[in-house]
Amino acid sequence: MKKQLLMGVAGLCAMGLSAGAWAAEAATADEVVAKVKEAAAAVKASSADVVLSEFDKKDGKWAWKDTYVFVLDCTAGTMKAHPNEKVKGMKLTDLKDKATDKEFGTALCNAAKSAKGGWVEYMWTKPGAEGNHRKVAYVLSAGNYQVAAGVYDDKLTAKDLEAKSAK
């Protein structure tokens, strides 16, 4: 009996440690803001589409943990760069929340109009995970383009995260 109890406790501890390891693999809102600001500076510094191709790489500098940076062209109304080939080149009005089918491309463009950027919530696929997940994306204007990345979180809201973009 004691052996079974000890094995059960050891199993729970192992599960708790592995859950902590998984949690460490999730990008944070602070990381998203920092990476988007870095990406916006890179996009502004170069007018060549060569720099934009870096955002298409699933294993490149702009993809980390469970998220990635993507680039929009709100003037043309298209997704300029994205690590998913199916999304790259899409019309922004075709970007739909996976749960409600509500278009959110326009919301991303509107949020980018603020000097400090903004946050937009929607359901989307998560790299390495099945199904659709709640994503809150930070978007910032970068010259002729808009740069964004998101955090996958069931609790954070755009309103909660507004203060992070002001830093």
- Model confidence pLDDT, tens digit, residues 26-47: 999 999 999 999 999 999 998 6
In a domain, 40, yes or no: yes
Q: Which residue has the higher pLDDT, 29 or 1?
A: 29
In a domain, 11, yes or no: no
In a domain, 12, yes or no: no
In a domain, 32, yes or no: yes
In a domain, 16, yes or no: no
Kindly report, residue by residue over 58-92, the tens digit of the pLDDT. Answer: 999 999 999 999 999 999 999 999 999 999 999 99
pLDDT for position 11:
44
- Indicate which CATH number applies to the domain containing 137: 3.30.450.20
Given a cut of 50, whether residue 12 has pLDDT beyond it is no
Number of residues that this document lists for the chain: 167
User: Whose CA is closest to 25, among 119, 166, 151, 165?
Assistant: 151
In a domain, 10, yes or no: no
In a domain, 132, yes or no: yes
In a domain, 141, yes or no: yes
pTM of the model: 0.82
The DSSP secondary-structure symbol of 147 reads E
Q: Mean pLDDT across the stretch 123-135?
A: 92
pLDDT for position 166:
61
| 94: containing domain | 28-165
Number of folded domains in the chain? 1
Given a cut of 90, whether residue 99 has pLDDT beyond it is yes
Residues 6+ apart with CB under 8 A from 130: none
* pLDDT band, residue 157 (cuts 50/70/90): confident
Given CA atoms 142, 62, 51, 87 in this order, what sign does their dihedral have?
negative
